[in-house]
Each structure stands twice: as structure tokens, then as C-alpha cells.
Amino acid sequence: MRDISFGQYYPVKSFVHNIDARIKIFVTLLYMVSVFFIVSYTTFVCMFALLMIIIAISHVPYRIVFRSIRGLIFLLIFTAIINIFFTSSGNVLLPIKIGKLVINITDQGINFAIKMALRFSMLVLGSSILTFTTTPTELTDALEVILKPLTYIKIPVHDLAIIMSIALRFIPGLMDETDKIMMAQKARGANIDSGNFFKKIKAMLPVLIPLFVSAFRRADELADALDARCYNASGKRTKMKVFKLKATDLVAFFAFVAIVVLIFLDKYLIGAMVTPPDLGGFEVQGLDIFVYRLIMIITG
Amino acid sequence: MPIVIKHLSFTYSANTPYEKKALKNINLEINEGDFLGIIGHTGSGKSTFIQHINGLIKPQQGEVEIFDLKLTPAKKPKVNLRDLRSKVGMVFQYPEYQLFADTVEKDVAFGPKNLGLSAEEVAKRVKTAIEMVGLDYEAVKDRAPFELSGGQKRRVAIAGIIAMQPKVLILDEPTAGLDPYGKEQILNLIKYLKTHCSPTIIVISHDIDEITRFANRIVVFNDAQIAYDEPMQQLFKHSRQLQKMGLDIPRAVKVVNNLRARGVDLGDDIVTAEDLLKAIIARYNEKHSAQIDEGACVFDMYDFSQKWLTSEEREELGLIPKSEEVPKAQSKTRKPNKKTKPRKTKDEEGKE
């Protein structure tokens, strides 16, 4: 338990860590949307290369970033299989008959499945770069700034931000507490790690009850402390750390916007300019058309 | 030799940016009957160290031998941890935060039940444990632990450990967060447990004045290593080095050191307030032997005032022979330091 650092923040110094959190969140959102507009394998390769470069300059080891996909492998495989089985367009590669039901596995289905899996993993990789390089506090602060316009439609953004930052602030403490209580009960001979599911739940009670008691106690104390300082959520207050855009932030931002523009060009412009080759139902899209033609020329 | 620790090292979060060395090559032997005090800064490794003794942390390097059980980094043979925990009891810091059951009795029974004892044996042990910590068994057994006072909760938590009847008892900051009266009671409880329950006791404490009152041996942790391991009387020869580590030294030792700097040498083996008092009285009497007949004068080390002792107090300190007329019970209940040791926050240094 103690070995797990809270959240994913990886404390090293780098260019990526230094970028303004607002920009990072904005860019990540943009990235997440644009990943779904990538149509050609060529763009996938380029985007992947870009991600690798960003990870390299963020000084977060590759193995740690890639660990974040590990938990999603099941989801990836599941969506891929669904895609393969439920796409009926394209050239049939393998027809499967189960009684009267016929499921055709087509090249287009496999094409979709691979692209979907690529999109998912790039989505996770990209967003984990954000969490690896930004502290939870920075994230909430930046979110508060970004969501500020919502206050005009009576959404209490500041309250929500405070709730979030308090929650984040308390997680490490509660984890420490859990650790301590678990040790204390283990020292009293509690057997927490073995037994079947129900036994384990029952064995967790001596840990959970004191944990809840202490969580409520902490909440009480914090509420008193806030009260004692006349805290008022609706009051106007200044920030201790004011976000200030640096030149490098803007450079990073516009560089990324340029890449997004390329993704959209790839999807909409190239498809409209060049006629894709006719391969039955199998679609070749975007820059892949050029790659396809190049391969055709080389192989004759 | 109940506990032998050899070449023990431990690192938290190895190979990450959060890496922290908590123990570096620790070697220590703890004998049966030791009353061991452990002092050191926060983060000096003392907590990690005691968690090894209870098998809560598996050694990464080196080995820990407790009675006939051997803990090593190897996966096999598997150590019977239940057996280990019945031998080594551990009272964590703020142990009252681990209470969970709806009655005091059930909570104290948690430990012995986990040891797999019979119902009668568990009930017997619970009763003895609750009584041992100085609570009224009948009055307290059906109450919810959460409605007790802070000091009572702590005793219930300690009873939960004692009920397992460990041969070695480890306490981490047992008096933290208690008022002076509660502190005094817990300290007396620990002394009582030494003779009646667990012959070997290990106490971690920040309060050096407190630890010197009962420990016979002190281990100083500094920067994940053992800096000193000395009998209590000898440790404070290293006063200067201890202070350099940022550790406090007993107030009596401070007085002795200051007096020495002014040319009065009271000797090396004064650690507690009682020792100091005796030494000062002895020195005073050497110089002012004529006054003994009229009543001895005591030099109060806390505020530099002089005080005249009553004849009873002089008797208690052994300055004049005990008179037979004084009933024994009365003289026993009176502590020699009762009048002469007011707990003042003022230090003698502030007065210089």
C-alpha cells in the first residue's frame, strides 16, 4: 500500500511538466477529440511517433506510461472482438455458421477493430501524459479556471473545485491511515489477505470501521477549521498561485493545433481530392491512399 | 537472546523517484528482560525497524530472528506469522484509532480469538487484560469503546494487545497526545506490564525525560542507522553529538553539563531528576554539614530556588536515619520528588 504513490504524478522536472496546466488540459481535450478523427494508418504512425517524443521530453520512463494501458487490455480486446463480429461490410474472409445465424468476418471489420484499438490506446496514453506531468492540485486549479464561464449559468464552480481539491488532499492521508490500521489489526493477528471473498469482506471490517470513524473525525475537524477562519465559499478571493501564460506554453499550444489541423486535412481534404482505390468493401482512407499507390508503383 | 537482527536494510518505493532508504545495515541484539528505549528523528527508520520485529514488514535484506522464528527475504520456508504475533505484541501510535467492535470486551477479544484460543481461554484473558490496564472489567466490558475517554480508550487498545500475552511488547509513542496525568498513568502501566506480563519491552518515544525514567538501554536511530546503543546511564556522555542530531537530552543532564561548565562536577551518571536531586543534596551536605541538624536545604533545579525539607522528606531521602515512630505505609506513599520537583517549563538555560 505504501509503495503506491497517490495519483499518477511523476515528480521530475521537464518541459512538459512546466507547461501551464490549463494549456495541458485544453490540448489533451483537443487531442482526445481529434484521435477519433484519425482515419489513416499513416496518421496513426505519425501521431504515435509524436506521443513517443512527448513522453521522451517529459522524462517519464516509457515503461511507467505504458503500464497505464495494461489495465485496459481486456477492454481493448473486447471492443476489438465486437468490432470484428458486428461489421458486415467489406470482403468476407471467413464465414462462421452457428445454426441459422451467419457471422461474416470481413477485412473491413478487422480494419475497424485495429483502428478502434489504436484509438483507445492512444487516448489512454495521451491522457496519462497529462496526469503524469501535472499535480492533482494544478489540475483542479486549472479546471476551475476553465470552467469559470459556467458560473454565469449558476453552476457553483468554485465550490465544486474546493470539494475536489479537499477530496484530493485527503486521499493520501486516508491511504496512510488505512495502512496503519491494517498493520495494527495484522499485529493483533487479523488475517486480511487470505480466505474466500466473503471471509475477506468480513476480515476487512476491523479496518473499515476505524477508517470511517477517522474519516468523519477528520471531516469534522476540517469543517471546524474552515469555520474558525470564517471561510465562505461564495466570497471573492484571489489565488495563491496565479496562472500565467509563458511563451513556451503558447508555442506548445500552437504546435499542437497545427497537428490537429493536419488530422482534419487528412480526413476531409485528401479523401475529397484523390479517389481511393476500389478494393471491394475495404476502404483505404486519407494519406494511406498515397502509401497504397506508392506500394503499387514499387511492386509494379 | 530472544531477538537478533543482522544486517537489516530496507528501502521504500525502490527504483522510483520516491525511493527512500529507511534502514541501512542494522545489527542489534535485544536480550530477555531488556527495557529498551528507541529514540530518533521522524523518518530516522525507527518505526520501520519495529515493524520488522513483528513481521509486518518482510525483510528486503538481512534477517530478523525472534525466539526460534527466522524472518529472511527468502520466500521459503514460510514463517508462521500468527505464532510470531502471539510472541511479539505491538502497540501502535494512537492505538485507540484501531478500536472497532461495539463493546470493549469484543474488541479486546479480537487478538486472542485470532490466535485460535478456546472461548473460555479468550474470556479469561480478556478479563485479566482489562483489569491489568487498570479498568473496571464489570463496568466497562459492555460499553462501546467510542464512548470512553481518550485515556481509557488507549488503555482498552493496550489491553487488546496484552490479551495476547506477548513475551515482547513494543510500544510506539505510547503517551502521545495525552495530558500529563494520562501520561503518568500510561508510564506506570508500562512499568507494571514489565513485571506482570511482558518481560521484554521496547518503547519508542520522543520525550527523552520520559524514556529515561524506565529504560535501561537506549538505541539512537539517526539517518536510517543505529548511531548509539548504550546503557541508559552511559548514553549522555554523547550529549553534544545527540544535540547535533537534533535530539533532546534530559533536563537533568543539561543541568549537570551547565554546572560542569561553571566548574561544578557532579559526575557522569546522572540522567534522571531523582539522580540529580540526590547528587546535589549530597554535594550541598558536604559543604554545609553544619546545617543538617536544622534541616537540609534543597536546590531546586527548575527555578534555582532553595527549599527547606521537612524532616519526613529528609528521612525519605536517607539524609537522617529513619525514626521508628513513623508508620511505614505513610512513608511509602510519599514520594521523595513530590515537593521538590515541580514541573516547570522554564529551563535553567533561560535563566543564565
CA B227 to chain A, closest CA, distance in angstroms equals 26
pLDDT tier at B170, thresholds 50, 70, 90: very high
Number of domains in chain B: 2
Final residue belonging to a domain, choices B229, B244, B259:
B244
pLDDT of res. B348: 45
* ipTM exceeding cut-off 0.85 for this assembly: no
Contacts 24+ apart (CB under 8 A), B190-195: B190/B214, B192/B132, B193/B132, B193/B162, B193/B169, B194/B35
For residues A155 and A268, give the distance between their C-alpha atoms in angstroms, rounded to a whole number. Answer: 37
Number of domains in chain A: 1
* Subunit contact B100:A188, Cβ cutoff 8 A: no
User: Domain check: are B258 and B219 in the same one?
Assistant: no
- Domain residues for the domain of B285 are 251-351
User: Domain check: are B236 and B258 in the same one?
Assistant: no
For residues B218 and B46, give the distance between their C-alpha atoms in angstroms, rounded to a whole number. Answer: 12
pLDDT tier at B317, thresholds 50, 70, 90: low
- Taking the Cβ of residue B111 and every Cβ of chain A, the question of whether any pair is shorter than 8 Å is answered with yes
Measured CA to CA in angstroms, residue A104 lies from A76, A88, A97, A99, A279 at distances of: 21, 6, 8, 14, 17
User: Domain check: are B279 and B162 in the same one?
Assistant: no
Contacts of A199 in chain B (CB under 8 A): none
Q: Is the pLDDT of residue A140 over 50?
A: yes
- Taking the Cβ of residue B82 and every Cβ of chain A, the question of whether any pair is shorter than 8 Å is answered with yes
The whole-number average pLDDT for the span B115-125 is: 93
Of B12, B92, B110, Cβ closest to residue A183: B92
pLDDT of res. A70: 80
CA A64 to chain B, closest CA, distance in angstroms equals 10
pLDDT of res. B347: 47
Q: Is the pLDDT of residue B37 over 90?
A: yes
pLDDT digits (tens, 9 = 90+) for B87-112: 999 999 999 988 999 999 999 999 99
pLDDT of res. B17: 74
For residues A282 and B103, give the distance between their C-alpha atoms in angstroms, rounded to a whole number. Answer: 71
User: Domain check: are B39 and B122 in the same one?
Assistant: yes
CA A3 to chain B, closest CA, distance in angstroms equals 5
Contacts of B163 in chain A (CB under 8 A): none
pLDDT of res. B344: 46
Final residue belonging to a domain, choices B215, B244, B273:
B244
- Taking the Cβ of residue B166 and every Cβ of chain A, the question of whether any pair is shorter than 8 Å is answered with no
- Taking the Cβ of residue B10 and every Cβ of chain A, the question of whether any pair is shorter than 8 Å is answered with no
Final residue belonging to a domain, choices B244, B267, B286:
B244
* Subunit contact A183:B114, Cβ cutoff 8 A: no
- Taking the Cβ of residue B16 and every Cβ of chain A, the question of whether any pair is shorter than 8 Å is answered with yes
For residues B340 and B277, give the distance between their C-alpha atoms in angstroms, rounded to a whole number. Answer: 8
User: Domain check: are B82 and B166 in the same one?
Assistant: yes
The answer to whether residue A164 sits within a structural domain is no
- Taking the Cβ of residue A186 and every Cβ of chain B, the question of whether any pair is shorter than 8 Å is answered with yes
The whole-number average pLDDT for the span A253-277 is: 84
- Taking the Cβ of residue B311 and every Cβ of chain A, the question of whether any pair is shorter than 8 Å is answered with no
Of A186, A189, A214, Cβ closest to residue B97: A214
* Subunit contact B114:A213, Cβ cutoff 8 A: no
pLDDT tier at B321, thresholds 50, 70, 90: low
- Taking the Cβ of residue B80 and every Cβ of chain A, the question of whether any pair is shorter than 8 Å is answered with no
* Subunit contact A188:B13, Cβ cutoff 8 A: no
- Taking the Cβ of residue A300 and every Cβ of chain B, the question of whether any pair is shorter than 8 Å is answered with no
The whole-number average pLDDT for the span A177-199 is: 84
The whole-number average pLDDT for the span A184-200 is: 81
* Subunit contact B164:A206, Cβ cutoff 8 A: no
User: Domain check: are B224 and B268 in the same one?
Assistant: no
Of A3, A183, A205, Cβ closest to residue B56: A183
pLDDT tier at B322, thresholds 50, 70, 90: low
User: Domain check: are B190 and B298 in the same one?
Assistant: no
The answer to whether residue A180 sits within a structural domain is no
The answer to whether residue A94 sits within a structural domain is yes
pLDDT tier at B345, thresholds 50, 70, 90: very low
User: Domain check: are B174 and B313 in the same one?
Assistant: no
pLDDT of res. B286: 76
Would the pTM count as exceeding 0.90?
Answer: no
Contacts of A188 in chain B (CB under 8 A): 85, 98, 110-111, 114, 160-161, 164
User: Domain check: are B263 and B185 in the same one?
Assistant: no
pLDDT digits (tens, 9 = 90+) for B5-29: 999 999 987 877 778 889 999 999 9
Range in A37-46, A189-198, B172-181 with the lowest mean pLDDT: A189-198
- Domain residues for the domain of A36 are 8-134+246-300
pLDDT digits (tens, 9 = 90+) for A16-65: 888 899 999 999 999 999 999 888 888 899 999 999 999 999 998 888 88
* Subunit contact B95:A184, Cβ cutoff 8 A: yes
Measured CA to CA in angstroms, residue A94 lies from A85, A97, A103, B201, B320 at distances of: 11, 10, 9, 74, 110
pLDDT of res. B305: 54
Mean pLDDT of chain A: 84
pLDDT tier at B339, thresholds 50, 70, 90: very low
* Subunit contact A186:B56, Cβ cutoff 8 A: yes
User: Domain check: are B197 and B289 in the same one?
Assistant: no
CB pairs under 8 A between A and B: 70
* Subunit contact B56:A205, Cβ cutoff 8 A: no
pLDDT of res. B142: 92
Q: Is the pLDDT of residue B64 over 80?
A: yes
* Subunit contact A188:B114, Cβ cutoff 8 A: yes
User: Domain check: are B167 and B256 in the same one?
Assistant: no
The whole-number average pLDDT for the span B198-207 is: 90
The answer to whether residue A231 sits within a structural domain is no
Q: Which residues contact B27 (CB under 8 A, 6 or more apart)?
A: B5, B6, B7, B8, B226
* Max intra-chain CA distance, chain B: 74
- Cis check: omega of the bond before A172, within 30 degrees of 0: no
Query: CATH number for the domain including B55?
Result: 3.40.50.300
Residue in B closest to A64 by C-alpha = B16
CA A245 to chain B, closest CA, distance in angstroms equals 28
Range in A95-99, B47-51, B149-153 with the lowest mean pLDDT: A95-99
Residue in B closest to A203 by C-alpha = B114
pLDDT digits (tens, 9 = 90+) for A98-137: 877 778 888 888 888 999 999 988 988 888 888 889 888 8
The answer to whether residue A58 sits within a structural domain is yes
For residues B160 and B57, give the distance between their C-alpha atoms in angstroms, rounded to a whole number. Answer: 21
Q: Is the pLDDT of residue B341 over 80?
A: no
The whole-number average pLDDT for the span A235-239 is: 75
* Subunit contact A11:B18, Cβ cutoff 8 A: yes
The answer to whether residue A105 sits within a structural domain is yes
- Contact B228/B220 with Cβ under 8 angstroms? yes
Mean pLDDT of chain B: 83
**Residue B92, helix vs strand vs coil:** coil
Q: Which position has the higher pLDDT, A96 or B125?
A: B125
pLDDT tier at A138, thresholds 50, 70, 90: confident
User: Domain check: are B42 and B128 in the same one?
Assistant: yes
CA A71 to chain B, closest CA, distance in angstroms equals 20
pLDDT of res. B23: 92
Q: Is the pLDDT of residue A277 over 50?
A: yes
CA A199 to chain B, closest CA, distance in angstroms equals 14
